[in-house]
Structure 1
């Protein structure tokens, strides 16, 4: 797929798309405002604390609801015209927009005898239009997007201790990860603390970080559905990540089904993107079928060595959400694995040195629930390695869930990054504020054996590459990030990989 900044092949089609969206805007705005009348738990709490707030609030909501409903009805003729124009225009739209920020230095030469380190971040941001975000107990999408953008692209220089709190693999582990929790790469003058892997009833949690890593090389985001939020992220991330792919997904009528939202995927890279490919899942069901969920695969140029390209591969995806749809996710995992392999075969050139092959995303199943047993055994985990996993149904003792109990995200013990980190460091806090194991129906599993660490649905996986240039990829650190307290119902995850010459 050609990397062009506009997703449309010419200006005329881009103008028609803007016209169609302008015609749809009044109805969209009114519908979003109607849904936005639904209150989050924090808004209800503030209203209860206000004198006469409940009465005034209900009266105001009723009047606002009538006004928004009237505007929605009046705007329907314009919306119908806009939809008739919007649908055929989408057939000519490429499945992503590419932003390149000039002024960055070219890739540095790479001595393949030396070790290099790369950092990946993956996060589900729930940046839907505010009315839809309320169904996840989140609102204020523009404000949340601005906060995320500001903290994902911190101003240089990197703050000291940016990676303090990562889990570093145990020395001598053949697979690159093990059972010792340690604070890696301590700043000068600090003390490294080692915590043995827990064998007792309550395992120690993985290291939690209050901040996004300042040295992230790749950021993979999910649920960036709102157009304004995507624009805010592109604008801010461009200062630190010269290459950004957004608006990912094929909208319009696809396979006889309407795709009203794109995939929600966004990928930002510090390194040049050589190639990109999007594949849409053909089997989306129920409400998920309205979004163009799929897989985004990119090839990046990391440097050159003795006339060889040094490249890396990054995939970003978001699978079917409803808990009962394990069979749908199973098929999507199989398709994604096949698409990643085909993309590599199509893009790799003879003599390439492949530094890493990473897959990030919200897979919408965990490794602790009986209801997710089918997906836990997928072949994906034979090809890609999950640093937090020991096997089907068994995580490393330090791994914790990334899905929060959305109804409790505004409570005082988890209301700031610092408080969320402190609370999730305790067994009682994890049990109270993380989502627990589920049955195949999505209901809580009353027979789930304790102690459980929560549902880990957000993944960063990697695989080894066997090629002409022997390089070995090893885990240098894993982090669960509390930066988005009250701003998402997911914990972002970060993975740091060391790439070094493979032993003879």
Structure 2
């Protein structure tokens, strides 16, 4: 298959499409503004009530007639553009593939994944799914969201900043010994290379004696880092020293004492003066197991963040002016920056992971997982918002499939499609093949969008026999109207059928070497628009999809695991101060009463009103409609295990869904040669 790097195969058709859209856009923009002025979000209503002297009402009274007048004037041009645009859609490709080579800074952060030889112990891969609700602004307001263009840029910044955090794990030898080894400490100072979590796991077969004392908070008077004695965990002399590569701590090459002296204000460790000062970030006087200790905050894990600085965007085309980022979440500063100094120590921002009875680590995290490999986005409908989002995500993800779907009449029976599928896939691994199919049975307002399934084949490595190691991804967004269970089940049937056909069509041996590909994983991601606990979704809960693919959060039809969390937020509370930031939403989701307040729950006979008047069930964790499923039957003798599953709050205030992520460990079952 050929990846389409342009919407059309001909430059002439691209020019005609641009011309036709130039005629249509003024009418489209004015209609969007006219409808948006009539539908206010809860945040806008609150601001109006708090400021009676606001000129918003006057602005609406003046702008509405003006928009209406200009809309009527632009209709003839829009009709002419539509007559030119609609026939051109028959020649349009079903998706746009873009590839950006990482620059030097992105390469250091590991934006592009390595395709090195596949080791028998395998690798781990991280998958994510998020519904971002990037509809035209007037339609997004019905979900209590606004400013689609600004939200698109902010969503992209938050995702890439969360994913670009280095995944640094410190493993301890026993629950009672929380000391950090010298190697771990020096690696923190000098920086870890980006690897998967399997690559970072220490070799248990090696003989080593764990330190009985913390190498930083030593009881001796001398600092254990700068000591010259035999007990120094990091030697200060010789070429092997990771901190003092020249053997001299006052050297200008020292990554810690950048100014040449440990007591200078420029030193990132000893900014407060002498290294035994109580103000020193590392050599503090508190106990090593104290929660105030910057190294032993969680006991087992430390994260260091160094995202790429934002570059000014060169926007093209017609769009609204951008304001400050605080207007997105009602005055809460945007969560788009992390620490830019890799030599500084930061506490881990997420909560401590918990392990359920099934052995799966799970957490509610304020950030997208570090080293996120694949991300499927839904409801990326608006064309300008798609461009902004894609531009931001390309800072970290080299490979992107966007603008997926059909327009007008082609590909989806005889129903006219005003919107595409809204699906976008971003990847750190090279994309080999892609195929899109449109669901032909959409009803009501859902039939206006070309919802369907995107099937993708990616290369994740090369075996010792020079066979390609590949993975399969299926991204979809099912029918959304409640009560149409039969429609969703039919779409799931088509999903399985199309997926089987795609794998058969792309499983042929490569033409170069004639060797068959080895399949590492087969994963389904997306918004399926039904939950596993609602009494109205029993038909979907028993679908054969769950026999071919495994849901990490599911015990069986109608029953989720106790730690599973709903992903659909109550839109009326999106701008409440309690959930206006990723950290605050994370805290609310960790509390049962908070979940009852801000999540939408499955339909149940037992309801009770809460303080806001909304009806909520007595028990449950909310409607979970965003899924990541995986197949255990991939390559023969290979083993697939779940490392962790996360519910993510980083897009708080930007969408009405929680995001989900899963880290999958794949091993061959062979022994390391």
Q: What TM-score do you get using the length of structure 1 for normalisation? A: 0.88
Aligned counterparts of 2:460 and 2:355: Cα–Cα separation in 1? 36
Q: Which residue in the other structure is 1:17 paired with?
A: 17
**Local SS of the residue matching 1:253:** coil
Match of 1:289 among 447, 452, 455: 447
Instruction: Please list, as runs of the form range in 1=range in 2, the aligned pairs for 1:299-338 lying within 5 A after superposition.
Output: 299-305=457-463, 306-338=465-497
Distance 1:365 1:91 in 2: 33
Who is 1:463 aligned against?
631
Partner of residue 215 from structure 1, selected from 362, 366, 371: 371
Helix, strand or coil: the match of 1:302?
strand
* 8 Å Cα contact 1:360-1:460 kept in structure 2: yes
C-alpha deviation, 1:470, in angstroms: 2.7
Distance 1:158 1:489 in 2: 25
- SS for the counterpart of 2:161 is coil
How far is 1:206 from its partner?
5.3
Bigger shift: 63-72 or 359-368? Answer: 63-72
1:273 to 407, 427, 431: 431
Aligned to 1:168: none
Mark the CA change 1:163 to 1:436 in structure 2 (over 3 Å): closer, same or farther: farther
Between 1:278-287 and 1:430-439, the stretch displaced more is 430-439
Inter-partner Cα distance in structure 2 for 1:163 and 1:44? 48
What's the CA shift string for 1:21-75, capped at 9, x where partnerless? 111001100111012111100010001000333xx43332122111111111111
Q: Is the 8 A contact 1:210 1:418 kept in 2?
A: yes
With over 3 angstroms needed to count, the CA separation of the structure-2 counterparts of 1:317 and 1:128, relative to structure 1, is same
Corresponding residue number in structure 1 for 2:81? 82
In the alignment, which residue of structure 1 is the partner of 2:30? 30
Q: How far did residue 473 of structure 1 move?
A: 1.3
CA 1:476/1:197 → structure 2, altered by over 3 Å: closer, same or farther?
closer
Match of residue 41 from structure 1: 42
- What stretches of structure 1 of length at least 5 have no aligned partner? 165-182, 200-204
Partner in structure 1 of residue 144 of structure 2: 137
Per-residue CA shift, 1:95-147, capped at 9, x if unaligned? 00010113577853333412201001100000011111101000011111111
Confirm whether residue 364 of structure 1 aligns to residue 529 of structure 2. yes
Q: Identify the match of residue 538 of structure 2 among 356, 360, 373.
A: 373
Give me the whole-angstrom Cα distance separating, in 1, the residues matched to 2:83 and 2:169.
Answer: 50
Alpha-carbon deviations, 1:269-313, whole Å to 9, x = none? 111111000000000111111111000010001111112110000
Query: Which whole-Å CA distance do the structure 1 matches of 2:26 and 2:365 have between them?
Result: 42
| Corresponding residue for residue 340 of structure 1 | 499
Task: Flag the 1:466–1:26 CA change in 2: closer, same or farther, 3 A.
Answer: closer
Structure 1 distance, partners of 2:580, 2:164, is 28
Report how far residue 330 of structure 1 moved.
0.8
Tell me the distance in 2 between the aligned counterparts of 1:466 and 1:198: 25
For residues 310 and 127 of structure 1, the distance between their equivalents in structure 2, rounded to whole angstroms, comes to 34
User: Where does 1:60-79 land on structure 2 (aligned, <5 Å)?
Assistant: 60-79=59-78
Between the aligned partners of 1:194 and 1:329, the Cα distance in structure 2 is 34
- Partner residue, 1:479: 646
Contact 2:523 2:628 (8 Å CA) reproduced: yes
TM-score by length of 2: 0.67
Asked whether the 8 Å contact 2:532–2:558 carries over to 1, the reply is yes
Per-residue CA distance 1:376-400 (angstroms, 9 max, x = gap)? 1111000000000010110010001
Alpha carbons of 1:192 and 1:430: their partners in 2 closer, same or farther (altered >3 Å)?
closer
Match of 1:221, SS state, is strand
Larger mean CA deviation between 386-395 and 107-116 belongs to 107-116
> How many residue pairs align between the two structures?
474
Q: Deviations over 1:167-209 (max 9, x none)?
A: xxxxxxxxxxxxxxxx99733999996757599xxxxx95210
Instruction: Give the structure with the larger strand fraction.
Output: 1
Looking at structure 1, the residues matched to 468 and 72 of structure 2 have their Cα atoms a distance apart, in angstroms, of 58
2:390 is the alignment partner of 1:234: yes
* SS of residue in 2 equivalent to 1:431: helix
Cα deviation for residue 412 of structure 1 reads 1.3
Moved over 4 A (4+): 103-107, 159-164, 188-199, 446-449
Deviation readout 1:448-477 (Å, 9 max, x if unpaired): 86311000000010002344x532111101
Indicate the structure with greater helix content: 1
Within 2, Cα distance between the matches of 1:57 and 1:236?
32
> Structure 2 CA distance, aligned partners of 1:25 and 1:147?
24
Which one of 656, 659, 667 corresponds to residue 489 of structure 1? 656
Equivalent residue number for residue 413 of structure 1: 578
CA–CA distance in structure 1, aligned partners of residues 633 and 622 of structure 2: 32
Which of the residues 406, 419, 422 maps onto 1:264?
A: 422
Measured at CA, do residues 163 and 147 of structure 1 come closer, stay the same or move farther in structure 2, by a change above 3 Å?
A: farther
Report if the CA contact (8 A) 2:550-2:631 is conserved: yes
Paired with 1:2 and 1:49, the residues of 2 have a C-alpha distance of: 56
Q: Distance in 2 between matches of 1:29 and 1:452?
A: 42
Change (3 A) 1:148 1:192: closer
Using the alignment, how far apart are the partners of 1:466 and 1:243 within structure 2?
24
Q: SS of 1:475's equivalent?
A: strand
Q: Is this contact kept in 1: 2:167–2:371, CA < 8 A? A: no
Contact 1:372 1:439 in 2 (8 A): no
What is the match of residue 171 of structure 1?
none
Cα distance between partner residues in 2 of 1:193 and 1:120: 20
- Secondary structure at the aligned position of 1:496 is classed as strand
Contact 2:170 2:302 in 1 (8 A): no
* Correspondence 1:145-224 to 2 at 5 A: 145-154=152-161, 158-159=165-166, 186-187=301-302, 197=356, 207-224=363-380
Relative to structure 1, the CA distance from residue 283 to residue 115 in structure 2 (aligned partners, 3 Å threshold; closer, same or farther) is same
